[in-house]
Amino acid sequence: MLAAERSELLIRVGRGTPVGELFRRYWLPVLLADELPEPDCAPVRVQLLGELLVAFRDTSGRLGLIDEFCAHRGVSLWFGRNEENGIRCPYHGWKYDVSGQCVDLPSEPEESGVRKGIRLKSYPAIERGGLVWAYLGAADKLPPEPAYEWTQVPPEHRYVSKRLQETNYLQAMEGALDSIHSGFLHRYSVADDPLLKRDPESLAMLLGDRRPKIMPTASPAGLYVATRRDVGTDRYYWRVTQWLMPCFSFFPPYGDNPYGGHAFVPIDDERCWTFSIDYHPFRALTQGERDAAHDGKGIHVRLAENSFVPLANKRNDYLIDRAAQKAKKTFSGVQGVGVQDAAIQESMGAIQDRNREHLVSSDSGIVKTRRRLFDAAGSVARGLPPPGLDPAEQGARAVSMVAPRDLELAQVVAMAQKKARSG
């Protein structure tokens, strides 16, 4: 069981908390780039790690991420006018540039110098891989720009979606690191899914060994969450998910399907954004794959109109179909892999009471993930850099392959990645 104080440490992400300070050492995705489609477009509210911010793209195309509230009398700048390289408060006309500096204070003479002393909190923001990323840490510890493999491929090679999850980030992330639940929760849901359908060879190996060994192992940037199955008497079938600090999870495809992954970015202690990524290193995604993702297939979900809230959500019981559940069309009665994950994880409450859980051997990946987070938060508290800031480490790719039994996990990963890089 997880002691109450350790659970609190893991889920609290506000400024000054151990895990909150850990997250602030990384670039984190906060918006789809399309949410800020052009210069001088409407600003967007951003809630990240418990902070209330507003993002905008100025006349010159620069990204700004600043305190949501005007320094004058606290009006939300989401109502502001984005014009002439700054955002202007609609109440009294105070205007701020992308650095948060007040550049116009209409009611005061310039020679008074009042304007120059007014500056809102601001954070660096960049665009990579079709997303807007933010860094909320200390300026003197700014890490290199994110270099996850999916951010480096051409735009036509990837599809990225975003949805609201009404749980803390850890609850969502642990679902992605749990290899065993797929055989139950997602049973009957992947056979006809164009983004998740198993190829015959992999399916035969999955069905051949129904009691796989879960082998989580520390990696340079986080954790290898490896699932190992017997193939005959001399080989193993490995599927290795890459968990990269602090909240990224990537899994290998079956056959020539796209690679998949998630980023679970804390909005506050009780909600997170789930960014879901399909990408292929060597080819463009087909129109059929894009259409399937947009329609909520694979790891994506259908969204309510003009919203990032899933169409099937806790307010409508995720559109559960008990007849379909009974007829074994879905194991849970909920349609779609992404919605199934959200439904089960949100059913635990916004913050699960981990003091009541009973972990077993198949939960070893979750146990190790928590330990890595504890250790990394401790390193940051001691003034040391956390794992996963090196761009070379961020390029790690999830892999699957059959290998001789005498190879160690690290050797399997290295061999598979070398083979995969060759295309």
What's the confidence (pLDDT) of residue 22?
A: 98
Mean pLDDT value across residues 122-143: 98
What's the confidence (pLDDT) of residue 141?
A: 97
pLDDT(283) > 90: yes
In the predicted model, what is the mean pLDDT of the chain? Answer: 92
Q: In angstroms, how far is CA 342 from the centroid of its own chain?
A: 14
57 three-state secondary structure? strand
Distance, CA of 84 to CA of 95 (rounded, Å): 10
Local confidence band at 214 (pLDDT 50, 70, 90 cut-offs) = confident
Local confidence band at 1 (pLDDT 50, 70, 90 cut-offs) = very low
Residue 88 is which amino acid?
R
Mean pLDDT value across residues 309-316: 96
pLDDT(165) > 80: yes
- 16 exposure class (CB count in 10 Å sphere: 0-12, 13-18, 19+): exposed
Q: What is the largest CA-CA distance in the chain?
A: 84
- Cis previous bond, 39, omega within 30: no
pLDDT(124) > 90: yes
- For 244, phi and psi rounded to 5 degrees? -115, 135
Task: Specify the CATH class of 149-421 in words.
Answer: alpha beta
Local confidence band at 314 (pLDDT 50, 70, 90 cut-offs) = very high
Local confidence band at 382 (pLDDT 50, 70, 90 cut-offs) = very high
pLDDT tens readout for residues 69-109: 999 999 999 999 999 999 999 999 999 999 999 999 999 99
Local confidence band at 333 (pLDDT 50, 70, 90 cut-offs) = confident
28-134 against 149-421: fold identical = no
Mean pLDDT value across residues 349-362: 85
pLDDT(3) > 70: no
Mean pLDDT value across residues 34-62: 98
Distance, CA of 395 to CA of 308 (rounded, Å): 28
Residue 159 vs residue 423, higher pLDDT: 159
Helices vs. strands in the chain: H and E counts, helices first:
11, 18
Spatial contact of 177 and 239, defined as CB atoms under 8 Å apart? no
User: What are 9's two structure tokens?
Assistant: 């440490």
pLDDT tens readout for residues 110-119: 999 999 999 9
Share of the chain above pLDDT 70, in %: 97
Spatial contact of 123 and 110, defined as CB atoms under 8 Å apart? no
DSSP assignment letter at 188: T
What's the confidence (pLDDT) of residue 268?
A: 98
What's the confidence (pLDDT) of residue 2?
A: 55
Mean pLDDT value across residues 395-405: 90
What's the confidence (pLDDT) of residue 91?
A: 97
DSSP assignment letter at 366: H
- For 387, phi and psi rounded to 5 degrees? -70, 160
Lowest mean pLDDT among 73-82, 145-154, 208-217, 229-238: 208-217
Distance, CA of 368 to CA of 265 (rounded, Å): 20
Superfamily designation of domain 28-134: Rieske [2Fe-2S] iron-sulphur domain (2.102.10.10)
Q: Where are the domains of the chain?
A: 28-134, 149-421
Place of tokens 């879960």: 214
Local confidence band at 325 (pLDDT 50, 70, 90 cut-offs) = confident
Q: In angstroms, how far is CA 35 from the centroid of its own chain?
A: 17
